[in-house]
Amino acid sequence: MKLKALIAAPALALILAAAATGCGSAAGSETKGLIADAKAGKLTVGIAFDRPGISQKNPDGSFSGFDVDVAKYVAGELGVQESNITWLEAPTPQRENLIQNGQVDYVVAAYTINDARKEKVGFAGPYMTVGQSLLVRADETAITGPESLSGGKKLCSVAGSTPAQNIKKNYAKDVQLQEYDTNSACVEALKAGAIDAMTTDDSVLAGYAAVNKGNLKIVGQPFTKDSYGIGVKKDDTEGRNKINDAVEEMIKDGSWAKAFEKNLGPSGYAMPTPPTVNRY
């Protein structure tokens, strides 16, 4: 009897330890991720800091723009107040890593949905449809669209961006593509005469044209059709669905149109038809 008891005691201890470990793992998993963070009342959101009208960090430290308003609306639908959002800069080349590493709960940063990115992250949305266009100096007359970029003209775009990839794929023989780290760096190079034009989504260019009125202008018609999505972890189906619900509600209750008019209306950029959420 004593021998059986001695054997049983360690066995029981192992069982209890395993059970405790199992419970600990479950509890740990519940404290991580978009939904868990929202339930805890705090979210970290990745945005761009340098895109007027879309999302920018203001001199007083506040943030404004259409993407910012979309991000705040989504947070509100998830039960998180604006004061409990931590804004983290999400540069184009770093967005996938920020999501995959759990440094942000979601990214709203003029984030074009494409197949290559969908292999790494998940997307809610789309929440906006845009097209690639060109920004030039106000006195430029030779550049009227992508077909007029021949002759060794220098074109700037952000490294790793969908617009840059499109130029490489379709216009590499016609133009010298200069890849910079940020859109704002391209704008400064354009103003300084170091490049002849810059390219990205027309919605982003509209903001730069508005704050540089008289110095920069958009030329030609959009030559792509793309959609912005909200980036989340690839396997976070629940979080993605919750964000999709929020985007649909924002469009339905009129908040989407109000946010557009407030942030992008002053630039003269025409409001596109609100997109249908595809639930990727």
Residue 245 lies in a domain: yes
Q: How many CB atoms lie within 10 A of CB 24?
A: 10
Residue 129, pLDDT score = 95
Does 148 lie in the same domain as 88?
no
Residue 275 lies in a domain: no
Contact 196, 141 (CB under 8 A): no
What are the backbone dihedrals phi and psi of residue 102, each rounded to the nearest 5 degrees, phi first? 75, 20
Q: Kindly calculate the radius of gyration of the chain based on its CA atoms and give it in whole angstroms.
A: 24
Does 137 lie in the same domain as 112?
no
**195-139-185 Cα angle (round to 5):** 30
Residue 268, pLDDT score = 86
d(CA 153, CA 176): 6
Does 118 lie in the same domain as 256?
yes
Does 187 lie in the same domain as 79?
no
Residue 69, pLDDT score = 98
Domain count, the chain: 2
Does 159 lie in the same domain as 78?
no
Q: Which range of residues forms the domain containing residue 87?
A: 34-130+226-267
Contact 82, 72 (CB under 8 A): yes
Contact 233, 121 (CB under 8 A): yes
pLDDT along the chain (280 residues), means of 10: 42 40 35 88 97 96 97 98 98 96 97 95 97 96 92 93 93 89 95 97 94 94 95 96 98 98 91 89
What are the backbone dihedrals phi and psi of residue 180, each rounded to the nearest 5 degrees, phi first? -105, 170
pTM over 0.85: no
Residue 150, pLDDT score = 85
Does 188 lie in the same domain as 173?
yes
Residue 5 lies in a domain: no
Report the sign of the C-alpha dihedral through residues 157, 206, 124, 114, in that order: negative
CA distances from 247 to 114, 158, 254, 256, 278 (A): 19, 27, 11, 8, 11
The CATH number for 147's domain is: 3.40.190.10
